[in-house]
Amino acid sequence: MNRRDFFKIVTATGAAAATAGCQGASEQILPLVVPNEQLVPGVASWFATVCRECPAGCGVLARNRDGRVVKLEGNPDHPVGQGALCVRGQAALQGLYHPDRFPGPLVREGAGLKPATWENAQKILVDRLGALRGGGRGRAVALVTQLENGSLGALADTWARALGTRARVTLEPFGYEAIRAANRITFGRAAVPHYAFEEARVVLSFGADFVETWLSPVAYTRAFARMHTFRDGRAGTFIHVEPRQSLTAANADEWIRNAPGTEGLVALAILKLMLEDGLVDRRFADAVVGIDVKKVAAGSGVDEATLRHVAKAFGHARPGLAIGGGVAVSGSNATRTQVAINLLNAAAGNVGRTIRFGPDAAWGKVTPYAEVADLVEAMARGEIEVLLLGQGVNPVHALPAGLKFAAAVRKVGLVVSFATQPDETTALAHVVLPDTHWLEAWGDFSPREGVTGLLQPTMAPVRDARQTGDVLLGVGRAVLGSEEGKGPLPWASFEQYLKAAWEPAVRGEWAGALRQGGVWREVAPVAVQAKAGPVEAGAAALEGDASGFALLPYPSLRFYDGRGASHAWLQESPDTMTQAVWDAWVEVPAEAATRLGVATGDVLRVTSPHGAIELPAYVSATLHPTAVAIPLGHRYAPYHVPRYVAAAPTAMTPAALLGPARDAASGGAAWLGVRVTLAKTGARRPLAILQATHDQDHRELAQHVDLRAAREQALRGRAAPHEPISMYADHVYPGYHWGLAIDVDACVGCQACVVACQAENNVPVAGKASAAYGRQLHWIRIERWAEGPAAQPTNTFLPMLCQHCEVAPCEPVCPVFAAYRTEEGLNGQVYNRCVGTRYCGNNCPYHVRRFNWFQYEFPAPLEVQLNPDVTVRQLGIMEKCTMCIQRIIAGKDHARDEKRTVRDGDILTACQQTCPTQAITFGDLKGEKNAVSALRHSPRAYTVLEELGTRPGVTYLKKVVREHA
């Protein structure tokens, strides 16, 4: 019996998710026909695989309950991510169970795509390929995939060679070509190196949004936290240069706002000042001969004093790390900027220490944008007869409109898509051969040299899908007229191909590799020599009328290039900086807003030489006055409308505004390439912004301490806080006393915990209108509190969840004991007892209690993802964070099996498990040795709204703010 039958069968058992209120008793219980040793009904089993939501390739463990994957967690053994997952990785489940997923192969009939059998659908492709091949016109066939540097890629290339098609194009909207080109120029090595953040004392970033999307966000965020978070008196410094206060910028100890496109100049100016102070290698002096610091200061809007102390800080750092990326550093001068940054590193002697060539990132394998452009031109000229688009690519949506992909693709005779769900590109496809979701698929991916992760099916396909590898093999053989075991494509299936390809690497240890999730080895760093030549500096050239605003189209933390946008969880997890959900917006600098008389929510018409889109404005006090910013990749999935949003706007992504501009040196797309003009349309589209205000009104919710003071306390320890006075005897805990500690200094506001919690605890999605009206249902939220000058605020990210107070205001007011104090120090919430008076919700000073205003639905097949260990709440019920009670129970159960008590670290809450910066710690407060107790007694420890005497079970550690380095 294969997993698919098993899936069918076990989902039929009544063991599925529960609803408070006894409805839907299942009529039948179905046993297995043949026992499956891998899966015991009611017991979770874990499958290691690799996340393919972006090319970072983090390791994943998929939790399979009764044949369906219900939760994803980072794979602790995997070098990338090391157990953490980002918000997109957590939400991948919604791609697996996406209600819009193609039910099976589709063939275009007139306007629409109609269901077809695999045979017929493939036959169309086979015939066309056969004809072309017969006519010797194999070059008229093009294969485009996302970054597939493993077996699938290899197989595709073999296939392409066998059929004599064009070389496969690996399409990634962000190819980091500037970095590759710059490294070729400076170090003679066109690769994306590995950056060892954890080694650096000072990180100087030029627009590189590593907390959001840059290269490998999870891995680098974790490494950054290791370098930056205050630990026993030591903490590194992080300086960020960017025109816009991105999430990464908000995490910087010093955010330097520069004019768009001037990063290169700033970098060189800093280098020059470092040279002047004699802090660095004089060999690099001639790189900055043309640089006049005063001019740069004037041009970039970064005053000289700032430049000087940054130079000092970076120069003194042994080692430091300078990085560049993001939209701001992807203009016409991208490569030159990166070269300048390379020189900074080289001069400061960071190369080889914090920058390591050798373990190069997979990004190096992305097809240059120039070649993509060539393909598009070929298509436009009608030279392409057959275009095969692999899973994960949506060029119509993701590529700059200036490339005119949509127009070109219409010229293609046969467009075949392997996408799993409908998007702008499949709308133009003739045949859809849905690929399996990566959680259902075999495969492998190598995020960087020496690390190769293995993908394995974690469950039976939810829909009638076939792995692209299998389809290619089948089609290829049909075209070649060869059969299994013979010819250039002998493999029976892609699985077989994969195993064959891996045999030399694992040498029979296949099962072990699968269990571990791949194989990894240390790769020795390659020594490189920096070539110190003069750099012709200059600001990025911008197209469009000079009075307009420089457009910053930035990849969003939640949607990346748009791959995440169809996931409701991501749509509803707020953008941490604006706290907006669901809709897209254009970030307008405050000055311009007042000039245009625009308020947040007014719809603006954003016009560039290449197009125009209409978006609601978000007035930002921090954005550089000459720029506007729009997140990339915004789109709705069909099932979002009208369920979660009233209507789907035509275009929400700024890709529609971009021209064909390129970075001269590398040929990469120039995301920073146009100026736009703004015009009020008069319409209003209020944004759903979850946080009422970013000003904490002196209430000390998010507290911080100066680095010096923190050191002081770390050494001397802090004066013992006075014991709270009470008329009542202290609460006694017969068994455990669970508690949570959250290090505010570590939290970067990436929202991963929010979605992890949503997945773990069956938290429904409310939709835009509800969320806008304070009816969102997240059990944990990331608040952004801003202090200091409006234009240059210091941001603190405060994860807020049920505080599990010992003296909980919510408990005594409940008339039916639905809220009460458990023996183990939790604040229990008994759903089936709740009557819904909402008194507790009023009386909770933290407002972390969530109410089921309606009967929220889980559109099929999303309900299959529901965690069977957690009740699905009926309408009219109050709910809130339970500290993952189901995990606590499981942990205790496991300990009982081993006839012991729970050890520290046995139990991880969902939020803690996924946190890239390990800001959250759960454990038993009674054990003095336990990590959580240690943190609770840390000098930085405090509780929110302490003066109310609620005695929370959640301890926070103050953020450490650095006096300017």
Partner 1 sequence: MRPPTFADVNRDVLRTLEPPGNRYFAWMCVVALILSAGILFWAGQVWWGIGMAGKRVPQMWALYITTFVFWIGIGHAGTLISAVLYLFRARWRTSIYRAAEAMTIFAVMTAGLFPLIHAGRMWFAYFLLPYPNQRYLWPNFRSPLVWDVFAISTYFSISTVFFIVGLVPDVAALRDASTGWRRRIYAMLALGWEGSDTQWRHYRRAYGLFAALATPLVLSVHSVVSWDFAMALVPGWHSTLFAPFFVDGAIFSGFAMVAVLVLPMRHFFGLHAYIQDRHLDAISKLILVTGLVLTYFYVCEIFTSLYSGDHIEKASLFWKVTKTYAWALWLMYFCNCVAPLVFFVRKARTNPVVIYVVSILVLIGMWFERFNIIVPSLGHGFYPYAWGIFVPSATDTGILIGSFAWFFLLFLGFIKVMPSLSIVEVKETLPPPMRDKGHGGQH
Partner 2 sequence: MGAKAGVGALGAVLLAVLIFAAVSSWSRQPAVATPSVQPINFPHVVHVETYKIDCQYCHSDARRSEYAGLPSVERCMGCHRITAAQLPEIKKLAEYYAKKEPIPWVRVNKLPEFTYFPHKAHVRAKVKCQTCHGEVEKMTTFGAVTGPRPVNDLLNLVGFRPVPPPLSMGWCVDCHREQNAREKTKAPLDCVMCHH
Partner 3 sequence: MVGSTETIVGVFAHVDTTVRALEELKAKGYHDLTVYTPVPVHEIEDVVERDRPVSRVRLFTLLGGLTGAFSGFMLTIWSAMQWNLVTGGKPIASIPPFVVIAFELTILFGGIATLIGMVVLGRLPKLRPSPAFDPRFTRDRFGVAVHCVPGRGGSVREILGAAGAEEVKTV
Residues at the interface with partner 2 (CB under 8 A): 1, 5, 9, 13-15, 17-22, 24-35, 40-43, 817, 820, 822-824, 826, 828-833, 869-871, 882, 885-886, 889, 893, 896-897
Residue 696 or 713: which CB sits closer to partner 1? 696
Interaxial angle between packed helices 293-300 and 263-276, expressed in degrees from 0 to 180 and rounded to the nearest 10: 150
Q: Which does 728 bind (CB under 5 to 8 A by kind): partner 1, partner 3, partner 2, none?
A: partner 3
One residue of 687, 814, 826, 965 binding partner 1 per CB under 8 A: 814
Q: Which does 815 bind (CB under 5 to 8 A by kind): partner 1, partner 2, partner 3, none?
A: partner 1
DSSP 43: S
Is residue 118 within a helix (H) or strand (E), and if so which, with residue range? Answer: helix 118-134
DSSP 560: B
One residue of 166, 168, 781, 936 binding partner 1 per CB under 8 A: 781
For tokens 């119509």, what's the residue?
A: 396
Regarding 774 and contact with partner 1 (CB under 8 A), the answer is: yes
Token pair in block for residue 224 = 């950054």
Q: Which does 24 bind (CB under 5 to 8 A by kind): partner 2, partner 1, partner 3, none?
A: partner 2
CB of 842 to partner 1, least distance (A): 5
Regarding 19 and contact with partner 1 (CB under 8 A), the answer is: no
Q: Which does 731 bind (CB under 5 to 8 A by kind): partner 1, partner 3, partner 2, none?
A: partner 3
Cis, peptide link before residue 31, omega less than 30° from 0? no
Pairing of strands 827-829, 819-821: antiparallel
Regarding 118 and contact with partner 1 (CB under 8 A), the answer is: no
CB of 946 to partner 3, least distance (A): 15
Which residues 689-728 are close enough to bind partner 3 by CB under 8 A?
726, 728
CB of 693 to partner 1, least distance (A): 5
Residue 20 or 48: which CB sits closer to partner 2? 20
CB of 117 to partner 2, least distance (A): 23
One residue of 67, 809, 868, 916 binding partner 1 per CB under 8 A: 809
For tokens 């899936």, what's the residue?
A: 7
Beta carbons of 645 and 582 less than 8 angstroms apart: yes
CB of 804 to partner 1, least distance (A): 16
Residue 50 or 810: which CB sits closer to partner 3? 810
Interface segment toward partner 1; rule CB under 8 A; list 102-110, 293-301, 455-463, 693-701: 693-701
CB of 862 to partner 2, least distance (A): 18
Beta carbons of 266 and 241 less than 8 angstroms apart: yes
Question: d(Cα 859, Cα 406) in Å, to the nearest integer?
Answer: 31
Q: How many CB atoms lie within 10 A of CB 958?
A: 24
One residue of 525, 845, 861, 927 binding partner 1 per CB under 8 A: 845
- What are the backbone dihedrals phi and psi of residue 213, each rounded to the nearest 5 degrees, phi first? -135, -10
- What are the backbone dihedrals phi and psi of residue 89, each rounded to the nearest 5 degrees, phi first? -60, -45
Q: Which does 696 bind (CB under 5 to 8 A by kind): partner 3, partner 2, partner 1, none?
A: partner 1
Cis, peptide link before residue 447, omega less than 30° from 0? no
Token pair in block for residue 216 = 């490998």
For tokens 């920073």, what's the residue?
A: 672
CB of 789 to partner 2, least distance (A): 46
Question: d(Cα 431, Cα 281) in Å, to the nearest integer?
Answer: 59
Question: d(Cα 635, Cα 582) in Å, to the nearest integer?
Answer: 9
* Alpha helix segments (H runs only) across 139-282: 151-163, 177-187, 217-228, 247-250, 263-276
Class of residue 886 by CB neighbours under 10 A (exposed 0-12, middle 13-18, buried 19+): middle
CB of 87 to partner 3, least distance (A): 35
Q: How many CB atoms lie within 10 A of CB 307?
A: 21
Token pair in block for residue 368 = 């240059």
One residue of 8, 731, 900, 964 binding partner 3 per CB under 8 A: 731
Which residues 819-838 are close enough to bind partner 3 by CB under 8 A?
819-821
Q: Which does 885 bind (CB under 5 to 8 A by kind): partner 2, partner 3, partner 1, none?
A: partner 2
Residue 737 or 784: which CB sits closer to partner 1? 784
Q: Which does 373 bind (CB under 5 to 8 A by kind): partner 1, partner 2, partner 3, none?
A: none
One residue of 282, 838, 894, 900 binding partner 1 per CB under 8 A: 838
One residue of 677, 837, 886, 918 binding partner 1 per CB under 8 A: 837
One residue of 41, 368, 601, 841 binding partner 1 per CB under 8 A: 841
* Alpha helix segments (H runs only) across 455-493: 468-480
Beta carbons of 459 and 69 less than 8 angstroms apart: yes
Interface segment toward partner 1; rule CB under 8 A; list 228-236, 646-654, 853-861, 909-917: 853-861
Residue 849 or 887: which CB sits closer to partner 3? 849
CB of 627 to partner 1, least distance (A): 28
For tokens 């009638």, what's the residue?
A: 464
Q: Which does 837 bind (CB under 5 to 8 A by kind): partner 3, partner 2, partner 1, none?
A: partner 1
Quickly list DSSP for 763-824.
PPP--HHHHHTT----SSEEEEEEES-SSSPEEEEEEE-----TT-TTTTT-TTSSEEE-TT
**Residues 6 or more apart in contact with residue 292 via CB below 8 angstroms:** none
Nearest Cα to Cα of residue 223 among 125, 140, 321: 321
Regarding 28 and contact with partner 1 (CB under 8 A), the answer is: no
Question: d(Cα 501, Cα 507) in Å, to the nearest integer?
Answer: 11
Question: d(Cα 151, Cα 444) in Å, to the nearest integer?
Answer: 6
Tell me the residue type at 941.
A
One residue of 13, 496, 516, 843 binding partner 1 per CB under 8 A: 843
CB of 868 to partner 2, least distance (A): 8
Task: Please give the sequence-ordered ranges of beta strands (E in DSSP) within 262-328, or none if there are none.
Answer: 320-324
CB of 932 to partner 2, least distance (A): 20
Q: Which does 774 bind (CB under 5 to 8 A by kind): partner 3, partner 1, partner 2, none?
A: partner 1
One residue of 158, 482, 677, 691 binding partner 1 per CB under 8 A: 691
Question: d(Cα 763, Cα 774) in Å, to the nearest integer?
Answer: 15
Token pair in block for residue 652 = 């929400």
Radius of gyration of the chain (CA): 28
Beta carbons of 587 and 654 less than 8 angstroms apart: no
Question: d(Cα 865, Cα 846) in Å, to the nearest integer?
Answer: 30
CB of 906 to partner 1, least distance (A): 33
**Residues 6 or more apart in contact with residue 57 via CB below 8 angstroms:** 50, 51, 80, 216, 362, 445, 446, 447, 451, 453
CB of 811 to partner 3, least distance (A): 4
Token pair in block for residue 308 = 């000087």
- Report the DSSP beta bridge partners of residue 611: 608
Q: Which does 854 bind (CB under 5 to 8 A by kind): partner 3, partner 2, partner 1, none?
A: partner 1
CB of 518 to partner 3, least distance (A): 49
Regarding 695 and contact with partner 1 (CB under 8 A), the answer is: yes
Cα 111 versus chain centre, distance: 35
Interface segment toward partner 3; rule CB under 8 A; list 181-189, 630-638, 804-812, 868-876: 804-812
Regarding 817 and contact with partner 1 (CB under 8 A), the answer is: yes
One residue of 814, 883, 888, 919 binding partner 3 per CB under 8 A: 814
DSSP 533: -
CB of 702 to partner 1, least distance (A): 10
Beta carbons of 745 and 238 less than 8 angstroms apart: no
Residue 723 or 728: which CB sits closer to partner 3? 728
Which residues of the chain form contacts with partner 3 (CB under 8 A)? Answer: 726, 728-729, 731, 806-809, 811-812, 814, 817, 819-821, 951
Which residues of the chain form contacts with partner 1 (CB under 8 A)? Answer: 21, 690-693, 695-699, 701, 770, 773-775, 781, 783, 800, 809, 812-817, 833-839, 841-843, 845-847, 850-855, 874-878, 945, 948
